[in-house]
Amino acid sequence: MRARGATLRELRRRARGVRLLILDVDGVLTDGGIILDNEGNELKKFHVRDGHGIKMLQAAGVEVAIITGRGSRVVELRAQELGIRELYQRCKDKGAAYEHLLGKLGLRQEEVAYMGDDVVDIPLLRKVGLPIAVADAHQEARRHALLITSQPGGRGAVREATDFIIKAKGLWNALIGSYLED
């Protein structure tokens, strides 16, 4: 991860206050590719470490939500599998979904991290306390992010972000402790 426009110390301070991580799907949870079969079924490939990072972040007490412009049954299935209760699909106005989510969860903007990859994500990147872009995000999206992953979307970028937040909160050792026991 690399900081852009803020010190690493400032980014850790912001990450400590995160109570909600909102994710885009295409280009963040996936590599941005969309596969359609001959029957019109949409297929997506998700990275298993991103999924485990989401589960670890939830175990650390941070809510995870998805706001995406597209709609897909496979995204619904993945969200269910990961225990993500807040799923907003077919959002032409991601800002409206974001405002609804803030009100529903009773959060302030500075308590939210958002992870995006394209120009449609800029409005949310500009609002949240911790704006994050994947390594291969469009240059305009990267310009509005304070934290940029070293991994591209769909290839571990989400895991980088979840690990960063967990470590900033000082919960890393407690969460991985069970994996280290003999």
Digit-by-digit pLDDT tens for the chain (182 residues) are 877 878 889 999 999 999 999 999 999 999 999 898 999 888 999 999 999 999 999 999 999 999 999 999 999 999 999 999 999 999 989 999 999 999 999 999 999 999 999 999 999 999 999 999 999 999 999 999 999 999 999 999 999 999 999 999 999 999 998 788 76
> Domain boundaries in the chain?
2-172
Q: Distance between CA 10 and CA 7 in Å, rounded?
A: 5
Query: What element of type H or E holds 22?
Result: strand 20-23
Q: Are strands 112-116 and 42-43 parallel, antiparallel or unpaired?
A: unpaired
Region label for 132, one of left (φ > 0), alpha (ψ between -120 and 50) or beta (otherwise): beta
CB of 19 within 8 A of CB of 62?
yes
**Distant-in-sequence contacts of 85-94, Cβ < 8 A, 24+ apart:** 91/67, 94/67, 94/69, 94/120, 94/121, 94/123, 94/124
Select from 23, 7, 9, 48 the least CA-distant residue to 161: 23
CATH class, range 2-172: alpha beta
